[in-house]
Amino acid sequence: MEEKAARLLADGVLARVPELADELVRVIAEQNPGYRRINVVSRDDLRKSCQDNMTSVLRLIGRDGAEEEQLYSAARCTGRRRAEQRMPLDDVLRSFRLGGRLLWQALVEQARADGTVDAEGLLEIATWLWEVVDSTSAQVAAAYHVAEQQLVRIDEQRRATLWEGLLRGRGKDLAFAYEAARIIGVPVDGPYAAVVADVEDVNAPAFLNRLLAEHVFLASSATGGALGNRDAQFKAAAAELDGNSVDLSKAIGSAYGPDAAAEIAPHLPA
């Protein structure tokens, strides 16, 4: 199929994008319950995202000569924003698949109305469409993961600051105590066990002390995420903790010999 015919077909559907965006918002509300259940994406936000991404997909199908970097900007923006809104990625990607299905229906209707694309040409269009939907979804997921990791780091820093404040006695301030309890995910009242670890060994190499301190922090972050049902925090901290354990074992072996590394290995998370 000639690119010119594909471009004309895509241009025909582009004129209908505003009404298609309204339809996609309705379809998402009906068929993607995650958006209703979590309720963090406003209708106006969702509609703008639908319109921007449908426009980009059609321009990619029509191969209008614009830079792909520019045409994927709407997808990346959506990925970042949904991560910031804590919208599950699976629900976001499901909406993109629903949008792809709606665009396919619109392209078929446009082809029948124009009479310029035969059945074989429509098969080629279908292939292009789902290739574009897949690549767009990949851009969404990549931007989502980057933003999610940034949010996890920000959350970890904030929780670390709150923990430090509690250890320094700021818990006497009830407003601070309640804020810390809400963010860290622990009750204000109840029995607690405090574990204190001295990770500073004056005879150990500086890099080993750094890894030990990092290990304690990551273990605390992973535990806090698990107890607070913060899945993203737990997974990110646990993954970094695994890498830290490997580095720590190697560092101990380098500083104190292979026997010391073998002795400590069973006690490190793998």
Per-residue pLDDT tens for 227-244?
767 777 778 778 888 887
Exposed e or buried b per residue across 40-75, where buried means at least 16 C-beta atoms within 10 angstroms of its C-beta: ebeeeebbebbbbbbbbbbbbbbeeeeeeeebbebb
List the one residue out of 60, 53, 11, 10 whose CA is nearest residue 28.
53
Q: Is the pTM of this model over 0.75?
A: no
208 vs 250, residue with greater confidence = 250
Q: Which of 67-81, 115-129, 131-145, 182-196 has the highest mean pLDDT?
A: 131-145
CA Rg value for the chain: 26
Stretch 35-47: mean pLDDT: 88
Q: pLDDT value at position 56?
A: 93
Percent of the chain with pLDDT over 90: 33
Superfamily of domain 3-148: Globins (1.10.490.10)
3-state secondary structure of 55: helix
Stretch 152-163: mean pLDDT: 79
150's tokens = 């940034």
Question: Among all chains, which residue has been given the structure tokens 């913060």?
Answer: 230
Domain ranges of the chain: 3-148, 195-270
11's tokens = 């241009």
